[in-house]
A and B are shown apart, each in its own frame.
Chain A
Amino acid sequence: MGTTFQDRTMTVPEIHPEHKEYWDAAAEGKLLIKQCDSCGEYHYYPRVLCPYCMNDKTTWKEAKGTGRIYTYSVMRRGVPYAIAFVTLDEGPRMMTNIVDCDLDKIHINQVVKVVFKQSGDQDNPGPFIPCFTPMSDE
Chain B
Amino acid sequence: MSIKGMAYIAGAFEHPTRKAPDKSVAVLHAECAKGALEDAGLNVSDVDGYFCAGDAPGGVLSMVDYLGLNVRHVDGTDTGGSSYIAQVSHAAQAIAAGKCNVALITMAGRPRSEGRSGVKQKMTVANVPDTPFELPFGPTAVNEYAMAAMRHMHEYGTTSEQLAWVKVAASHHAQYNPNAMLRDVVTVEDVLTSTMIADPLHKLDCCVVSDGGGALVVVRPEIAKNLKRPLVRVMGAGEAPKGLSGGKVDLTYSGAIWSGQKAFEEAGVTPQDIKYASIYDSFTITVLMQLEDLGFCKKGEGGKFVADGNLISGVGKLPINTDGGGLNNNHPASRGGIVKVIEAVRQLRGEANPQVQVKNCDIALAHGTGGGLASRHGSATLIMERV
B→A interface (CB under 8 Å): 119, 121, 124, 126-127, 129-140, 142-144, 146-151, 154, 195-201, 244-249, 251
Q: What would 9 A/B residue contacts be, using CB atoms closer than 8 Å?
A: A11-B121, A14-B131, A45-B247, A71-B147, A71-B148, A73-B198, A75-B142, A83-B144, A88-B247
* Minimum C-beta distance from A86 to chain B (A): 10
The answer to whether B247 and A42 touch across the interface, beta carbons within 8 angstroms, is yes
Q: Which residues of B have CB within 8 Å of A91?
A: 247-248
Smallest CB gap from A98: residue in B: B137
Cβ-defined contact, B150 with A72, below 8 A: yes
Q: Which of A36-54 contact B (CB under 8 A)?
A: 41-45, 47, 50-52
- Asked if B199 and A76 sit within 8 Å, CB to CB, the answer is yes
Residues in chain B near residue A52, CB distance under 8 A: 246
Mark A residues whose CB is within 8 Å of B: 8, 10-16, 19, 41-45, 47, 50-52, 70-77, 81, 83-85, 88, 91-97, 108, 119, 126, 129, 131
Candidates B119, B133, B138, B143; contact of A13 at CB < 8 Å: B133
Q: 4 other contacts beyond A10-B136, A42-B247, A75-B198, with CB at 8 A cut-off?
A: A13-B133, A72-B147, A73-B149, A97-B137
- Distance of B221 from chain A, by nearest CB (Å): 42
Q: Which of B136, B143, B148, B150 contacts A75 (CB 8 A)?
A: B143
In the bound complex, how far is the Cα of B198 from the Cα of A92, in angstroms?
24
Of A10, A15, A50, chain B has the most CB atoms within 10 Å of the CB of A10
Min C-beta distance of B54 to chain A, whole Å: 20
The reply to whether A76 and B198 form a contact with Cβ atoms under 8 Å apart is yes
Residues of B within 8 A of A11 (CB): 121, 124, 135-136, 138
A51 surroundings in chain B (CB, below 8 A): 245-246
Q: Are B247 and A44 in contact (CB under 8 A)?
A: yes
Chain B: which residue is nearest A84 at the CB level? B147
Say whether A93 contacts B138, CB under 8 Å: no
Name the 6 nearest CB pairs between A and B, nearest first: A92-B247, A13-B132, A51-B246, A73-B146, A45-B133, A43-B246
Residues of B within 8 A of A81 (CB): 138
Across the interface, which residues of A come within 8 angstroms of B195, CB to CB? Answer: 76
Q: Which residues of B contact A47 (CB under 8 A)?
A: 129, 246
Most buried by A among B137, B138, B143: B137
B residues near A71, Cβ cutoff 8 Å = 147-148, 150-151, 154, 251
Give Cα A115 to B107, complex, Å: 44
Q: Which residues of B contact A45 (CB under 8 A)?
A: 129-130, 132-133, 247
| Contact indicator B247/A13 (Cβ below 8 Å) | no
